[in-house]
A = this chain, B = another copy of it.
Amino acid sequence: MDQEIEIIRPKAETPDEILRIALKLFTTKGYFTTSLVDIAEASGLKNTSGIYHHFKNKHVMAAQLYANIFDSLNISIDDIRRRNQKSSEQLHGITDLFFKLTDDAPEVMQFLLILKLNEFLPEEKPVMETAAFVKIIKIIQAGIKAGEIRDIDPQLVNAYFFGVINHTLRAVLTGDLNKKADAYLSQTWLAAWNAIAKK
């Protein structure tokens, strides 16, 4: 049986690992304040050259992170829509996902909620035009049609619902709220849903 050898200072050899490290730095320090030297060092490399073997340039790294994160979010939302019928259930599923991501992959939620993406990825679609978020608006429209959700501008519904959800998660990510996101899940879901539910 082959035994896996633990390396004490693990080199980030695969592109995926380097990308993960870059995401971490982008979300904590910011894109522009993170140099390729920072990424190289954090990856256990002595230079930036190694990075250029995997990625054409710094900007491409960010674009790949953008694609990965929004693609996987899109897939998750497809999955949630398939498994649930009612808009309320689908939104609940998305809420669960966001809270889980905040605890398990905070960098991903930082990327989605806090980074000013159009500053360093001006050519990418604004968040609300991505497939994932277009589907969220569709869920809201269906909920309005079905009489579950108040009949107001879907974008306004979105602002109320995800205003509550995202601002809470943001507070967890910044430390203003000091428990795990999961501790606030049920009451926050209720607050968000009540803000948009037809009484």
Contact = CB atoms under 8 A, between A and B. Distances in A.
Interface of A: 29-30, 32-33, 114-116, 119-120, 126, 128, 152-153, 155-156, 158-160, 162-168, 170-171, 174, 176-177, 184, 187-188, 191, 194-196
B177 A168 contact: no
6 residue pairs, one from A and one from B, having the closest CB atoms: A163-B167, A30-B119, A32-B32, A163-B163, A159-B168, A163-B164
Contact of A116 (B30, B159, B194): B30
Given A119-B32, A156-B177, A166 B168 contact: no
A136 to B, nearest CB: 12
Specify the main secondary structure of chain A where it touches its partner. Answer: helix
A121 to B, nearest CB: 11
A151 to B, nearest CB: 12
A174 B30 contact: no
Contacts of A164: 159-160, 163-164, 195
A14 to B, nearest CB: 28
Given A32-B119, A160-B168, 8 more contacts: A32-B33, A155-B171, A159-B171, A160-B191, A163-B164, A163-B166, A163-B168, A191-B196
Contacts of A33: 32, 119-120
A30 B117 CA distance: 10
26 contacts: A29-B119, A30-B116, A32-B32, A33-B119, A33-B120, A115-B116, A116-B116, A128-B174, A128-B176, A152-B187, A153-B177, A155-B176, A156-B168, A158-B171, A159-B171, A159-B176, A159-B177, A160-B164, A160-B167, A160-B188, A163-B166, A163-B168, A164-B164, A164-B195, A166-B167, A194-B194
